[in-house]
Amino acid sequence: MPKAKLNSGRQAQEIGAAIIGAWLKALPPSIAANITAMNAINPLTITVNTNMFASSNVISLRNSQNEVTRDVLVGTVTATSPTSQRFTILQANGNPLRYPRRAPTMQGGAVATATPLIGLHDDLTVVLQEVIKERVNLVFDQPGEINIVVPTLPNDVLTRDDLIKYLRDYHRYGQGRHYHDELATAVLFGCR
């Protein structure tokens, strides 16, 4: 299968470094508030130990079991004291977030300000385009979604017979491995 051609003097590791850089840019340096109470689950309503949030702020939540809900919105805000506030949580589309009944409590969890990764699309494209010769098309994974990339045909395949020979040779010499546990990379017909 064809592999991406890198610009002169660039290394494939720079692609991973750019992605890690985007993650670091999207994450705040520390939590913004602790969740002191979970007041309701439909819509999710929490109380936090600060008065810094405003309606429509983008935040991420961590529940008491360290599970994270990313890129949700602050809904209606009510100050409960000079050092705390209660607010509803909205999905990114503005609809109220319904928290599952059996999910771990939010009390004892944390809130952090958030920058959705999709907001870094243009910056990351520019960085990756400096590394990769071909046109870069970024796709950001979303919760509950799987992105499958169908690779281009191998360079030396012109007919079905060529493809069958290519696949037979790949399986004969590829040692039957289609998944690498340590790297957690799926291998499909020789694409890595």
pLDDT string in tens for the chain (192-residue length) = 446 688 999 988 898 899 899 989 888 989 999 999 999 999 999 999 999 999 999 999 999 999 999 889 999 999 999 999 999 999 989 999 999 999 999 999 999 998 888 889 999 999 999 999 988 888 888 777 777 777 778 778 899 898 888 877 776 766 555 443 333 344 444 444
Q: Which of 67, 89, 114 is the last residue of a domain?
A: 114
Position 173 scores a pLDDT of 67
Query: Residues, the chain, total?
Result: 192
Q: Is residue 8 part of a domain?
A: no
* Tally of domains within the chain: 2
Q: Is residue 191 part of a domain?
A: yes
Q: Is residue 7 part of a domain?
A: no
Domain span holding position 82: 28-114
H helical segments located in the chain: 13-26, 121-131, 160-173
Q: Is residue 152 part of a domain?
A: yes
Neighbouring residues of 103: CB distance < 8 A, sequence distance ≥ 6: 63, 67
Task: Give the DSSP letter string of 13-54.
Answer: HHHHHHHHHHHHHHS-SS-SEEEEEEEEETTEEEEES-S---
Position 187 scores a pLDDT of 42
User: In this structure, how many other beta carbons lie within 10 angstroms of the beta carbon of residue 111?
Assistant: 26
User: In this structure, how many other beta carbons lie within 10 angstroms of the beta carbon of residue 192?
Assistant: 10
User: How many angstroms separate the first and last alpha carbons of the chain?
Assistant: 9
Position 191 scores a pLDDT of 42
Position 185 scores a pLDDT of 41
Q: Is residue 60 part of a domain?
A: yes
Does residue 134 sit in helix, strand or coil?
coil
Residue 155 sits in the same domain as residue 110:
no
Residue 101 sits in the same domain as residue 176:
no
Q: Which phi and psi angles does 130 have, rounded to 5°? A: -70, -25
Q: Is residue 67 part of a domain?
A: yes
Q: Is residue 137 part of a domain?
A: no
